[in-house]
Chain A
């Protein structure tokens, strides 16, 4: 069942540009639509400035859209008044990237977890129980409720951020780069925790990330964004297995493979992402696309969806994915390594 429906979302931020202070707009999000079912994970991926975090904030109505609608559980969030919105927020939570900046240094962990429960009118006795329970669920101890954020490591702080998001038993959690700031070994712990919680609590995640390997691990479906637009959307298997958009090809091919035996012939895109203040006409990716033709500058390619796999490219049928994605060698660890690594899971 559809939990979240985002339709034709647009967000333009006003900026002043040039020394005359000419008014201009950053086209942060432009005509973005997607659905998310209960218990499902949709990943929004793309590079800096592609609009993925802005989309996450629009979904939570932390910022107001320029146009478009967000339906959550069948209700249009844009039509709710302040009180109704606050009530709806019980079901809609967020986890931030920076586990330090997003925690109030003057509050104990217990106070931080208690606050949302109090705001939603939960009884004091039940609140204490719930705080202890949620700390255990995220792998901390009930005693940790007495401590302040600076007394925790980065990984533990992110667990606190997760605890704060799930303490009110939401249906949807927007995860905005939740593991990007963490070291690899800690990142794996937090990714495992997010997956466990999803299974246990039936959470849906809107998972915003730039690391495609993490996304591959955690997502059910993936939407790839470039300069404010979705260029490709589909199941994980479709987007990673049969990528259609040349930007998705480039992204997948650019990731350094942690295996020295892997083939090294990445499709290296030239140039930089253009300014979102003055995005290219037609297809926004055309200025860096090795396959661009005259039509790409004239017409915006629509997001064509076939078999649940959408792509916004005029010529996707004619473009083959590059070799590095198609034929990768050395992906699997040898028998010894697999056996030794299994000991880390068992522990």
Chain B
């Protein structure tokens, strides 16, 4: 199937007092319609900046898309003007955030905000838009949708705000939804509700999803494909089963080992020692080499390319596939 989204060589940098910081460095991604891609990595790996770059939401200055292409439904979004991008955003592509209050305006009711979004993109009357908004609130399992329509965000619990934001994002049936840590701020029982909701909506709407998270549990629950980022680069990309059972990049292997598991007892967690390199001065070779127990001289000298080592399984390691 033709890709819905193709990202090639995306590079985003920020000007800082002490020089240029390249947060996203040559990222390639591909997403077919209706698929869910988990984009995982730790703080500062560039996963959120990748999403903001796709959405055209990197503030410039200090940010700058230094290179690459973001081809969505055949159009390179990076070449579109601000007005054309605003037409796509909220309609064909929309986004939900970790903290619902970043996208909900505290001064307006939930209903007004959803209606405003619909009217911005559709030539319909206010009554019809209101009807669609209430349907959408019902769709995200908001309790008492008619009443919530007239309520302000602060009257809602965290879980309900998350539902309201999802309703707003999905109101125009986007083909691509970017969800940036959608359950991270929620308690575990509420997280289970939202994950369940996202699973149902994914199957019902057929929207493709980029799910950005640091939580490999959330990825395993929802994603079909996974891309792992480290220090601005994609280090591994694979279907979800292969990534969890046959990971090929040492960073992925270490990351999977360092999560404490409910169903497994270990004396010591295999932690990845050391810390993420300073993005101002990435190491010369493989960016993970300083923390990698398998690193050799070659790794410290030359950076490996992202290679396809099995069908649909890509790894950025000289020694992949690792036996």
User: Which A residues form the contact surface with B (CB < 8 A)?
Assistant: 47-48, 153-156, 183-189, 191-192, 195, 210-214, 216-217, 240, 250-262, 264, 266, 268-273, 288, 328, 331-334, 336-337, 340-347
Contact = CB atoms under 8 A, between A and B. Distances in A.
Interface residues of B, number: 56
Interface stretch (B5-13, B75-83, B92-100, B262-270): B262-270
B151 to A, nearest CB: 14
B270 A342 contact: yes
Nearest to A179: B260
A140 B129 CA distance: 59
A268 B275 contact: no
A265 to B, nearest CB: 10
Interface in B231-247: 240-241, 244-247
Given A188-B269, A331-B263, A258 B191 contact: no
Contact of A269 (B192, B241, B257): B192
B257 A216 contact: no
Contacts, number: 167
B199 to A, nearest CB: 8
Nearest to B262: A213
Interface of B: 42-43, 143, 157-160, 187-193, 195-196, 214-221, 240-241, 244-247, 250, 253-264, 266, 268-273, 275-276, 293-294, 322-323
B42 A337 contact: no
Contacts of B247: 337
A203 to B, nearest CB: 18
A23 B33 CA distance: 55
Nearest to B192: A254
A337 B272 contact: no
Contacts of A343: 293-294
Contacts of A341: 253-254, 256-257, 270
A272 B42 contact: no
B263 A191 contact: no
B191 A340 contact: no
Contacts of B157: 272
Contacts of A216: 260-262
B293 A344 contact: yes
B43 to A, nearest CB: 5
A53 to B, nearest CB: 14
A340 B322 contact: yes
A258 B191 CA distance: 15
Contact of A188 (B43, B188, B260): B260
A251 B189 contact: yes
A191 B260 contact: yes
A75 B66 CA distance: 65
B260 A213 contact: yes
Contact of B189 (A153, A214, A256, A269): A269
A240 B263 CA distance: 9
**Interface-centre pick from A184, A213, A336, A347 (highest chain B CB count, 10 A):** A184
A347 B293 contact: yes
B245 A334 contact: yes
Given A213-B262, A269-B193, A337 B275 contact: no
B264 A256 contact: no
Contacts of B43: 154, 183
Contact of B262 (A153, A156, A240, A261): A240
Given A192-B269, A336-B323, A346 B217 contact: no
Contacts of A252: 262
A254 B272 CA distance: 27
A133 B219 CA distance: 41
Contacts of B221: 256-257, 264
Nearest to B194: A268
A333 B240 contact: no
A204 to B, nearest CB: 20
A340 B323 CA distance: 9
Contact of B215 (A256, A260, A288): A256
Given A188-B260, A340-B253, A341-B256, A258 B272 contact: no
B220 A262 contact: yes
Given A188-B269, A254-B191, A331 B255 contact: no
B271 A153 contact: no
A183 B42 contact: yes
Contacts of A264: 221
Given A189-B271, A258-B217, A268-B196, A184 B255 contact: yes
A258 B258 contact: no
27 contacts: A47-B187, A183-B42, A184-B42, A184-B255, A186-B271, A189-B273, A195-B268, A213-B260, A213-B262, A216-B260, A216-B262, A217-B269, A256-B191, A256-B218, A258-B220, A258-B244, A261-B241, A266-B192, A268-B189, A268-B196, A331-B264, A334-B245, A337-B257, A341-B256, A341-B270, A343-B293, A345-B270
Contact of A346 (B195, B218, B264, B293): B293
Contacts of A191: 260, 269, 271
**Interface-centre pick from B43, B255, B263, B276 (highest chain A CB count, 10 A):** B263
B317 to A, nearest CB: 12
A93 to B, nearest CB: 24
Contacts of A184: 42, 214, 216, 255, 258-259
Contacts of A345: 268, 270
Contacts of B268: 192, 195, 345
A191 B260 CA distance: 10
